[in-house]
Amino acid sequence: MYANSRFPATRLRRLRYHPLLRRMVRETSLDPGDFILPLFVRPGRGVRQPIRSMPGHAQLSADEAVKEVDAARQLGVHAFILFGIPAHKDAIGSAAWAGDNVIALTLQELKRHHPDALFITDECFCEYTDHGHCGVLSERTGMRDVDNDATLPNLVRQCVRHAEAGADLVAPSGMLDGMVAAIRQGLDAAGFAHLPILSYAAKYASAFYGPFREAAESPPSFGDRGSYQMDPANGDEALREVALDLEEGADLVMVKPALSYLDVVRRVKERFGVPLAAYNVSGEYAMVKAAAERGWIDERRVTLEILMSIKRAGADLILTYHALDAARWLRG
């Protein structure tokens, strides 16, 4: 009856029978030290403006951001990525590299209180331009579009300004060709040869960024980001993007979003074996929160399962809005 089977000699359930053994043979583990918590910062004092579509998150002034970092570090989360909401926007996003830009000022304050935490700066223009696109616009191609090469010098200015203000890692997210090479050269020339670059190498034009755009006040005023972010249908192209960014000098690379792109995470890890981050984005967070609020899912178990799946797929670092809840839950 069992002629072609190793059963009953082989029973994989034997490894699951005892809860302690089950734990000991577990292949993947989660550590709050792997999490990167996104923070939305804006000018002012004492500002904590809740973000409707991202329960538990708020736009913070620098003093409030310091408190958030205090709380996170108590839970073992020591890495943060900063997104800025500037007081003024213009056509080129000049607030992104102004001397007193909101990220630079906030960084200085955060660094004073937490000199040994890790602060990453998102390097992009969609929060700073009045049209909400990730750079300078032109009609060079016959269509109104982000002008790749005209945006690069601004991107370098932004990164250098953030480096001067104390960024520990810069993370360009605009999906411009040549962005990593330009930033590397600019940072080196400004005396920041030691500063690593985390490239949003494979970033897809995704509808899962919806809540973020409310949080960062950055929706495009016309069109979408399909001419610079990747087509969700493409997997092989992500490997080309990653290969190019590594050649240009990226020290770490990112796949974003995470959940619908776990195949890409796995392929990048297997092909390149470099430090890899995955971004568990705002829409992924909002779906869990909304279903949990309705009592339709067990938030704790679903969240930890999601984060585990991202790790299992091959991510070393996870950018996630669940960082603090998950850190609390992992403590038991």
Interacting residues with ligand PBG (CB under 6 A): 122, 124, 126, 173, 209, 212-213, 225, 281-282
Identify which of residues 168 and 284 has a Cβ nearer to ligand PBG in the complex. 284
Q: Which one is catalytic: 89, 111, 203, 311?
A: 203
Q: Measured from the CB of residue 174, what is the shortest distance to ligand PBG in angstroms?
A: 7
- Furthest-apart CA pair in the chain: how many Å? 78
User: What dihedral do alpha carbons 323, 326, 331, 332 form, nearest 10°?
Assistant: 170
Measure the CA–CA gap between 49 and 29, rounded to whole angstroms. 34
Measure the CA–CA gap between 182 and 155, rounded to whole angstroms. 8
Q: Measured from the CB of residue 164, what is the shortest distance to ligand PBG in angstroms?
A: 20
Q: Which one is catalytic: 256, 269, 289, 311?
A: 256
Identify which of residues 151 and 282 has a Cβ nearer to ligand PBG in the complex. 282
Residue nearest to ligand PBG (CB): 212
Strands (E), the chain: 35-41, 48-50, 58-60, 79-84, 118-123, 137-138, 145-146, 169-172, 198-203, 252-256, 276-280, 317-320
Calculate the alpha carbon distances from 11 to 54, 257, 310 in Å: 44, 37, 28
Identify which of residues 106 and 282 has a Cβ nearer to ligand PBG in the complex. 282
Measure the CA–CA gap between 51 and 210, rounded to whole angstroms. 12
Calculate the alpha carbon distances from 150 to 12, 35, 132, 158, 160 in Å: 59, 34, 16, 14, 17
Identify which of residues 274 and 287 has a Cβ nearer to ligand PBG in the complex. 287
Identify which of residues 53 and 63 has a Cβ nearer to ligand PBG in the complex. 53
Q: Measured from the CB of residue 209, what is the shortest distance to ligand PBG in angstroms?
A: 4
User: What dihedral do alpha carbons 247, 249, 254, 256 form, nearest 10°?
Assistant: -70
When computed from its CA atoms, the radius of gyration of the chain, rounded to whole angstroms, is 21
Is-catalytic flag, 256? yes
Closest to 132 measured CA to CA, from 173, 89, 95, 96: 89
Identify which of residues 68 and 122 has a Cβ nearer to ligand PBG in the complex. 122
Residues 6+ apart with CB under 8 A from 189: none
* Residue positions annotated with a catalytic role: 203, 256
